[in-house]
Amino acid sequence: MSVVSIDSFVSNAPSGFAQPGAVRHDWSRDEIRALFALPFPELIFQAQTVHRRNFDPTQVQISTLLSIKTGGCPEDCAYCPQSSAYETELKASKLMDVDTVLAEAAAAKAAGASRFCMGAAWRSPKDRDLDAVCAMVEGVKAMGLESCVTLGMLTPPQAGRLKDAGLDYYNHNLDTSPEFYGEIISTRTYQDRLDTLETVRDAGINVCCGGIVGMGEGLEDRVGMVHALATLPSHPESVPINMLVQVEGTPLAGGQGLDRLDFVRTIAVARICMPESMVRLSAGREDMTDETQALCLLAGANSIFYGPKLLTTPNPAQDRDMALLERLGMSPMAL
């Protein structure tokens, strides 16, 4: 019995079957909407085809995320318990000291992480704050780990300092579509976010940028979010797709969650539209079954956050993640 290769199947596919795999920055919303509307088996096939052309489908990049400065943020992001605008059980804390952060990084590396991400609840960092953050980045790099930070909006000189310290990635999410954004945040504009991404790019730092679904947005907003990401001048090297974790006290607590298959569809469409990016299965995994996570990995996700907490919300235990990867015949991606 002969075996038909993926490339052979795609090249002989009927008209109307999108030819996946090319890196494009001119995606239209109509094209992205049509991907979301594909029958589920065909969407997953296309996403997996794209994934295999760019990555080993059995490997998953492992990142660990640490909140180095928690709470007290002046922004009013409706999903975030770190906002000072909302009454939650979260207690604000000051910036962690460098040695404590580096001890956490060493533990993350020992547990299998290849990237260490540090988040601070700031609208934008003060220049004096960067002294400690740059020392953290230098220490993480000295361990042989990739480094990533998310600190809010940056000025060009601040981005330059982080680049000089050896920073590999800067995270700054667009969160949702331009149209729905005003329903979620009023203290920072969409253009502010795009400007920070440009600042990071100009400094020569890789971009980590994605969004959150399940915030009450509609399909058109998920189309718009992917469109905004996929039409950037350069695709983000990492694209985290987050499922909203509802936190009591925030405006989005108590809302209706997103159907898990719609979440998988979002992962698949992101993979097709940004074929060379790492698509990260991010927040919300604690409430997902192993089967849902397996579908996300099949749809083209090839990165996860690993460890007991994502900034302030729960994350699956490390042994659960490794047990799942082992059951799937998958393994952590080497640095």
Catalytic residues: 73, 77, 80, 117, 148, 208, 280
Alpha-carbon 299 to chain mean position: 15
Burial of 15 (0-12, 13-18, 19+ CB in 10 A): exposed
Structure tokens at 21: 């795999």
Residue 143, both tokens: 């361990």
Q: What is the DSSP string of 176-233?
A: S-TTTGGGT-SSS-HHHHHHHHHHHHHTTPEEE--EEE-SS--HHHHHHHHHHHHTSS
Q: DSSP per residue over 105-157, as a string?
A: HHHHHHTT-SEEEEEE--SS--HHHHHHHHHHHHHHHHTT-EEEEE-S---HH
The rounded distance, in Å, linking the Cα atoms of 66 and 170 is 14
The span from the CA of 88 to the CA of 128, in Å, is: 29
Query: In terms of Cα–Cα distance, which of 149, 238, 158 is closest to 195?
Result: 158
Q: What are phi and psi of 322, to 5 degrees?
A: -65, -35
Strands 278-281 and 206-208: unpaired
